[in-house]
Structure 1
Amino acid sequence: MPEKEEPSRSFRERISSLWNSYPNWGKIPQFLDLLEKGLDKELFHDPEKDENRKPIPIEDLPVDEVLRQSGFLRNFYEWAFPVSHVFRITHRYSREYLDNFLPLSKEDYIGRGSYKFVYKLPWNQVVKIGKSKLPSDSLFGSLYKEVGRDMEKYLKKEEIALKNYLQKQTIFESKRDEIEFKFKRLGLERLHYWKLKSLIPDLVIPTRFFMGLKVRKTPLSPSVTLTPCDQQPLLPGKHLKEFTTRNEKVDQNAILNKFFPKWKLNFDTHRFGIISRSKLKKIAVDFNRVIEVTKFLAEEEKLIFDVHSENIIITLPDFELKIFDFHLFDDYLYEPSMENPNPEMDHINLIEEFIRSFELDK
């Protein structure tokens, strides 16, 4: 007589078989899945509601002197040949597919950062269009190589399909390389964002990264450019530098003093109204969290969290700390100074100086 199968063993095998037939059960979703689901809610745009919403007054928007004051030639170029709109471009129906129409006008150009041009949308959001950069730029370090090794992890399926489709449409190898570079850059921007978003989620402004198609008006025909873009909410507030006063020059050598002067900065708590002590304490706590993240990335991942006063805003009227448009660079790209043998300390010392200026210990 055949032996009876152990009921417990049979049950385990059945459960194992069922579990394995659904490979996504019990597994952590890829970061891109988490990222997109959260952003669908945070950056949802309802045309009917947003059209009736009052735009944030220009005087309440963060002002960055470097960002806002583009040169005469650039401002003239934006006026003469304005960007009329931006699409998100993906791959559907076996071809390129355009959606997420973002209308722009001459007055919407806010300025330029190191890596992007910034335009205000008709509702309280901005779109940032990637500037052309060479692969030799320090932005494209070890994390760029990480994206290149596993693009499926950082790009959506339709984006991979679009990349392959566009590359097949050209006979020029240089053009195929350019397309490859742009899609890797899109994945790199997402990876930078996710590393900080996973560590300090409440401090990072929600940002959606996508491959865009920029349309610029020209006298002959519209100029169309494929370029990585991102979209963010527009928050009322002030850049960190706007809360500071320059009252003491830092002594450097003669050349640096002449061309790259540094100032000792102090936080002026009365510059934009009276800030309560409890709000200052909350800002100080959040600043310390940024310091801990900066240390963690430097020590554990050998990455420099390149945050400056123009990447940090204090929102009004809530006085909350928010971070945006940051990047991560390999630590070997920074030369240690006499004062700071560890390159991340330049950023940490700046933040600590702000905290000390709150005078919370008095």
Structure 2
Amino acid sequence: MSDKKGPIKGIRDKISNLWNQYPNWGKIPQFLDLLEKGLDKELFVDPNKNEEPIPLEDLPVDEVLRKSGFIRNLYEKFFPVSHVFRMTYRYKREFLDNFMPISSEGYIGRGSYKFVYKLPWNQVVKVGKSKLPSDVIFGSLYKEVGRDISRFLKPEEIELRDFLKKQTLRDSKKDEIDFKFKRLGLERLHYWKLKSLIPDLVVPTRFFMGLRFRKNPFGIPNVTLTPCDQQPLLAGKHLKEFTIRNEKLDQNPILDKLFPKWKLNFDSHRFGVISRSKLKKIAVDFNRVIEVTKYLAEEEKLIFDIHAENIIITLPDFELKIFDFHVFDDYLYEPSEENPTPEMDHIKIIEEFIKSFELD
């Protein structure tokens, strides 16, 4: 009998071989060198070239982001972010570069951990929201970052952290600065967990310590040190844009009224006209995501917390891309009645979407 493998079956073996091939991944300087490799080219913007902005209607629709609450929108109007700098350490002091101006219309919205702003060119800058150390994101990987911060921060970033800590006498402020730099390293580690396994599917992202400037109604700036990241802006559709809410899930009367839940049925015909070969390519890439999700859950006890708003299909290329994800410790998740292991909740959503392709 032939041992020939199909396009999907050998994915897990390839992942294991890739991981075992580089046992020293994560060691300085290899971790950061590999993480930053190619980003200068991928995120380069020529200020002398007038790039056509992507029309708003071509951007992925996320109602949570587009339609922030009244109070949040009011706050952004009266205390708008004017610009963001990347902050590092040079000439024996803090040094600002990579100026990113933001217009009053630049606020796209907020996610669980970041505020999102559109830049004048086809990129976004995502500013870290203030979080407490008790947040579930700060689990075992955060402790890993804390054990050897030099693996995850550049030398100049460590120098910047030490310099800023010397500028204050308050221990609470020193701890806050320490926490923010560890969070920067954590964001990189989460990103690398996926980027090292499915590099072509993960949107190029640069993580940096940023300085955000807000203006109050009197024009006085409010400056905040916070981890940030920068990504290209892509035209396409979120996975959630292919959902059809035609089957409501039964809960108790109060939850049905306040927090209704719907079964996620998909209609891939919303792609428009697309060739069968492109659908097959998307299906294969989704299966790669499934295998990576299983690998992280089984081998590292980590849940790849992927949702419909973290996945887009780009247009007009019809390519699968993933962004703004995090990985959490598996013990933070309770298995549901339908799925014995927590990662299956995420996998089932992807499998339902693939079924809507009506491929063999």
Q: TM-score, normalised by structure 2?
A: 0.90
Q: Tell me what 1:162 maps to.
A: 160
Q: Tell me what 2:42 maps to.
A: 42
Of the structure 1 ranges 348-357 and 137-146, higher mean CA displacement relative to structure 2 is found in 348-357
3-state SS of 2:244 partner: strand
**CA offsets 1:19-50 (integer angstroms, 9 cap, x no match):** xxxxxxxx99521111112211111121112x
User: Is 1:275 paired with 2:282?
Assistant: no
**CA offsets 1:220-261 (integer angstroms, 9 cap, x no match):** 621000000000000000111112212222334445433333
Q: Tell me what 2:237 maps to.
A: 238
Using the alignment, how far apart are the partners of 1:88 and 1:32 within structure 2? 17
**CA offsets 1:188-243 (integer angstroms, 9 cap, x no match):** 00000001000000000000000000011112621000000000000000111112
Using the alignment, how far apart are the partners of 1:80 and 1:340 within structure 2? 46
Total equivalences in the alignment: 334
3-state SS of 1:70 partner: coil
Q: Tell me what 2:310 maps to.
A: 311
User: Is 1:188 paired with 2:172?
Assistant: no
Using the alignment, how far apart are the partners of 1:255 and 1:200 within structure 2? 42
3-state SS of 2:273 partner: coil
Q: Tell me what 2:8 maps to.
A: none
Q: Tell me what 1:3 maps to.
A: none
User: Is 1:349 paired with 2:351?
Assistant: no
- Partner amino acid, structure 1, of 2:175: D
Larger Cα Rg: Structure 1 or Structure 2?
Answer: 1
User: Is 1:320 paired with 2:303?
Assistant: no
2:55 aligned residue (53, 57, 60): 57
RMSD of the TM alignment (CA)?
1.5
Q: Does the aligned pair in 1 maintain the 2:29–2:151 contact within 8 Å?
A: no
Following superposition, the deviation at residue 272 of structure 1 comes to 4.1
Following superposition, the deviation at residue 68 of structure 1 comes to 1.3
3-state SS of 2:105 partner: helix
Q: Tell me what 2:95 maps to.
A: 97
Q: Does the aligned pair in 2 maintain the 1:116–1:129 contact within 8 Å?
A: yes
- The correspondence of residues 171-210 of structure 1 with structure 2, limited to 5 A, is 171-210=169-208
Q: Tell me what 2:73 maps to.
A: 75
**CA offsets 1:267-311 (integer angstroms, 9 cap, x no match):** 323324222211111111111000000000000000000000000
Q: Does the aligned pair in 1 maintain the 2:28–2:150 contact within 8 Å?
A: no
- Partner amino acid, structure 1, of 2:327: L
- Partner amino acid, structure 2, of 1:291: I
| Larger RCO (alpha carbons 8 Å, 6+ apart) | 2
Following superposition, the deviation at residue 118 of structure 1 comes to 0.3
Q: Does the aligned pair in 2 maintain the 1:214–1:227 contact within 8 Å?
A: yes
Q: Does the aligned pair in 2 maintain the 1:283–1:320 contact within 8 Å?
A: yes
3-state SS of 2:263 partner: strand
Q: Tell me what 1:301 maps to.
A: 300
Using the alignment, how far apart are the partners of 2:319 and 2:36 within structure 1? 24
- The correspondence of residues 126-145 of structure 1 with structure 2, limited to 5 A, is 126-145=124-143
Using the alignment, how far apart are the partners of 1:95 and 1:146 within structure 2? 28
Using the alignment, how far apart are the partners of 2:267 and 2:28 within structure 1? 45
3-state SS of 1:137 partner: coil
3-state SS of 2:228 partner: strand
1:146 aligned residue (144, 147, 152): 144
Using the alignment, how far apart are the partners of 1:135 and 1:269 within structure 2? 40
Q: Tell me what 2:287 maps to.
A: 288
Of the structure 1 ranges 245-254 and 188-197, higher mean CA displacement relative to structure 2 is found in 245-254
Q: Does the aligned pair in 2 maintain the 1:269–1:275 contact within 8 Å?
A: no
Using the alignment, how far apart are the partners of 1:117 and 1:95 within structure 2? 28
- Partner amino acid, structure 1, of 2:298: E
Using the alignment, how far apart are the partners of 1:222 and 1:235 within structure 2? 31
Percent identity over paired residues = 82
Q: Does the aligned pair in 1 maintain the 2:65–2:109 contact within 8 Å?
A: yes
3-state SS of 1:248 partner: coil
Q: Tell me what 1:17 maps to.
A: none
Using the alignment, how far apart are the partners of 1:355 and 1:87 within structure 2? 41
Q: TM-score, normalised by structure 1?
A: 0.89
Using the alignment, how far apart are the partners of 1:285 and 1:260 within structure 2? 34
3-state SS of 1:54 partner: coil
Of the structure 1 ranges 236-245 and 246-255, higher mean CA displacement relative to structure 2 is found in 246-255
3-state SS of 1:285 partner: helix
Q: Does the aligned pair in 2 maintain the 1:267–1:358 contact within 8 Å?
A: no
Following superposition, the deviation at residue 69 of structure 1 comes to 0.9
